[in-house]
Structures are given as structure tokens and as C-alpha cells.
Chains A and B, each alone.
Chain A
Amino acid sequence: MTYFADVAALTRKDLKVELRARDTLPAMLLFVLSTLVVFRFALPEGTSDAAAYGLLWVAIVFTALLGLARAWVPEQEHGVLDGLVLAPCDRSAIWFGKTLATLAFLVAAQVVALPAFVLFFAPLDPTALAGVALADVGICAVGSLMAAMAAAGRARELLLPLLVLPLAVPLVVGGVGAAISPDGERYLLLLALYDGVFAVLSWASFEYVVTE
């Protein structure tokens, strides 16, 4: 159980840092809202709702990328990551904590963004919301590993979207499918499968990415 205590401590640390500095969350919120407004003008009058759902997914993926790009910045700036790697806890707990913290930011941004979407564009049914929740888990799990990988590189802000976007294609297929398809449950299954496969893979491989 010490593993989960470690995870909880790491998540709490990230949330506390964000609460004090307020770097990431306001940026994500503002970004997702302005994207939705831009999309309002990008869509011609009388476009079907299906197109709006597609744009919602573009907004979600890019907002998540924005959050993920900031995810390891505090660790990088103060050399915290080296300390964490040396700490007597399982390294995958670092990934777990970061994933939970990023997930919290993304969900917080969506708590504002989804009602705004309903207000501006089209209604969301429970299946679509379940799709959003499942895809959030997937993108944060994969994204926090990729962000850790990109953070070691020379062009980290540039690298992260390139690494994550091809991996996010199944999530977008699943999310849009859950929103517009009459039998959305199949798409939810796909998303759950994606979450399972990639969360385990990220969890298992994080240690290799951060150790020297």
C-alpha cells in the first residue's frame, strides 16, 4: 500500500504546485474556450452537429497537449526529477502521480469546456461523456510518458505533439464514434481497450525513460 501512498503524495505535490503557481490550468481553460470560439467561425452556417463533435475532439486533444507540455517543466527547472528518481519509491509511481495530476487538470478544463460546447454547438449524451472520460485517461497516461521522453530532448515543445498525435488517432476515432454513432458502446469498448493496453505499457516502461 506504500505504493499508492507514494502516488498520492506525488499527485498532491503536483496539485499544490499548480495551486500556488497557477501556470497550467488557466492557460488550458482559456485555450479550450478560445478554440471553441474560433471553431464557431470556422464552421459554415448550417453545418451538421457531427462536424461540431469532430471539432470538440480536436479541441480536447490540443488542450491535453498544452497541459502535457507543461507537465514536466517544474521538475526540469529545479532538477526535481533527479531527486524523485533517487527517492526510495517505485519509479512508475512518478508516472502514476503525474498522470493523475494531468488528468485532474484536463477534467477541470473540461468541466468548463463541455458546458460551453453544449451551449455553443450541440448536446452531449451520456455515451459521449463516457467517451470523453475514457479518452482523457488514455491521453494522460500515454501523454505523461511521452512528455517525460520529450522533456529530455532538445526541442521538447516541438517534439511532444509529434509523439502524441499519431498515438491519439484511435482515441479520436473512439471519442467521435461514441458521440455520433448510434451504437456508441462499441467505441467505448475500443477506448477502454486502448486505455488498458497503453496504460499498462506506459506504466511498465516509464522506468526506462527516466533513468540514466
Chain B
Amino acid sequence: MGLAILLALFVAPEDADQGVSQRIFYIHVPIALTAYFCFGLGAWKALLLLWRGDERYDLESYVAIHHGTIFGVLTLVTGSLWAKASWGVWWLWSENQLVLFLVLFLFYCAYFMLRFSLEEGPRRARSSAVYALFGVALIPVSFLAIRLAEDFIHPTVFTRDGPQMTATMFTAFCVTWAAVTLLAYVLYRVELAGKRLDADLRELREALQ
């Protein structure tokens, strides 16, 4: 992670027309990709839950989506900072990635509302899983919708001709991406371990009483 920050801040060459603000790209994009990855993982675990009916997937799905939402907030904040630096405004509705993220963020906030409003048990696990699956279906559909409804202002970095970056920029990008993914994974394991410990403790306490 330290190496990643070093690379992003000092090694990668500055973008010709965006200057120093462009460096936030090395943080913003990996965080956004990691958030998508977390949502995808959460939905995958949700699918496994519905398929196999094993309760442990419920917690895994929930924790993955929890981290997806945290990284989603970070994406919104860094994206907003970047927008301020390069376009001079905090928020652009014509910027489809930001809008998509906002919709997803609201969607997953509702996921937490749903989860905390239902009684604990298999039904809650399955309802949350169904909702999480709707989330991954919502991503491409709203992406399409938002893209239809906007003009293209976002710099498209990955095109069909491969990444439009120099080698050092690409290396720095990959290293930060790996670092952020690793961070997300570690957080995921830690929270999962904590939540499992909680559940075990509760069971023990109930057994003792």
C-alpha cells in the first residue's frame, strides 16, 4: 500500500493537461473497481446462498456489500474531488460514472435498511440475497440508461485498443489497484472473523443460560 502511494505520487509522470490533480486517478479508479468487485462478490455469495442454502454465505455476502458501500463512499468523495480539480465543479450530472455510483450507493443503503428491518433468520438471509442479486442486474441496466441520457465527458481510459497510458503510469495504476484490492480483502477477512466471533459468542451465551 505504501509502495503504491509512493508510486502514484512521485514516480508516475504528470498528465500533460491535467497536472497534479490527475494523480488522484491512481486512487480513485482502483477504489471504484474494488467497490464493483465487492458488490460482485456479495452478489455471488448471495447466489450461492440461494442455491445451496448454506447460512454462512449470508454473512459473507453482507460483509462484502458492506465493504463495497464503504469503498463506494470513497469513490464518490475522490471522484468529486477530481471533478472539482479538473472541471471546477464538485458534481456533474453529465458524468455517468459518478451518477451510476450514486444510484448504486442509494441502492445498497436500502439494502442495509432492508436487512436491519427484517427479523434475523433464513428469511432475512434470502430476502437480502435476492436484493443483492438485483444490485448486479441494476449495474449494467442503469449504466446503459445513464449512458443513453448523457453526453460523453468522462475520459475513457480503457478503450478497445488497450489502456491509453504510458508504461510507468500503467505500472503505478496496477500496483495501486492491487494494493486497494488487497486492503479490501484484508478488511473483508477481519470483519468476517469479527462477525463470526460475535455469532459464536452469542450462541455460547445462550447455551450457558
Could you tell me if A166 and B110 are in contact, using CB atoms closer than 8 angstroms?
yes
Q: How far is the CB of B169 from chain A (nearest CB, A)?
A: 34
Nearest-Cβ distance from residue B149 to partner chain A, whole angstroms: 5
When the two chains form their complex, are residues A159 and B117 in contact, meaning their CB atoms are under 8 A apart? yes
Interface stretch among B73-81, B84-92, B121-129, B155-163?
A: B121-129
Given contacts A153-B118, A212-B122, contact A167 B138 (CB under 8 A): yes
Q: Are B141 and A208 neighbours in the complex by a CB distance under 8 Å?
A: no
Complex contacts, A67 vs chain B, CB 8 Å: none
| Contact yes or no, A208 B145, CB < 8 A | no
Inside 8 A of B123's CB, which chain A residues have their CB? 152, 209, 211-212
User: Among B50, B114, B141, B146, which residue has its beta carbon within 8 angstroms of that of A163?
Assistant: B114
A138 to chain B minimum Cβ distance, whole angstroms, is 10
Contact residues of A: prevailing secondary structure: helix
A197 near B137 with CB under 8 A, answer yes
- State A209–B131 Cα separation when bound (angstroms): 10
B149 adjacent to A173 (CB under 8 Å)? yes
Contact partner, B137, options A162, A173, A198, Cβ 8 Å: A198
Q: What's the dominant secondary structure at chain B's contact region? A: helix
How many Å lie between the Cα of A211 and that of B126 in the bound state? 9
B133 and A201 within 8 A (CB):
yes
Pick from A149, A154, A166, A208: contact of B106, CB below 8 A. A166
Pair B149/A162 contact, Cβ less than 8 Å:
no
Question: B101 to chain A: closest CB distance in Å?
Answer: 12
Tell me whether A149 and B144 are in contact (CB under 8 A): no
C-alpha gap A212/B125 in the complex (Å) = 11
Min C-beta distance of A142 to chain B, whole Å: 8
A-B contact count (CB 8 A): 92
Taking CB as reference atom, which chain A residue is nearest B111?
A163
Chain A minimum-CB-distance residue to B53: A208
Q: Does A165 contact B (CB under 8 A)?
A: yes
Q: How many residues of A are in contact with the other chain, CB < 8 A?
A: 32
Q: Are A174 and B145 in contact (CB under 8 A)?
A: yes
Cβ B133 vs Cβ A205 within 8 A:
yes
Give the interface centre of A145, A155, A162, A165 by most chain B CB atoms within 10 Å: A162
Known contacts A169-B142, A190-B148, A208-B129; is A201 also within 8 Å of B114 by CB? no
Report whether B149 and A177 are in contact in the complex, using a CB–CB cutoff of 8 Å: yes
Of A163, A165, A186, A198, which is in contact with the most chain B CB atoms at under 10 Å from its CB? A163
A201 touches B129 (CB 8 A): no
CA distance A186 to B149 in the complex (A): 11
In the complex the two chains form, is B145's CB within 8 Å of A201's CB?
no
Q: Of B110, B127, B141, B148, which is within 8 A of A177 by CB?
A: B148
- 6 smallest CB-CB distances across A and B, nearest first, come from A153-B117, A166-B107, A170-B145, A173-B145, A208-B126, A162-B110
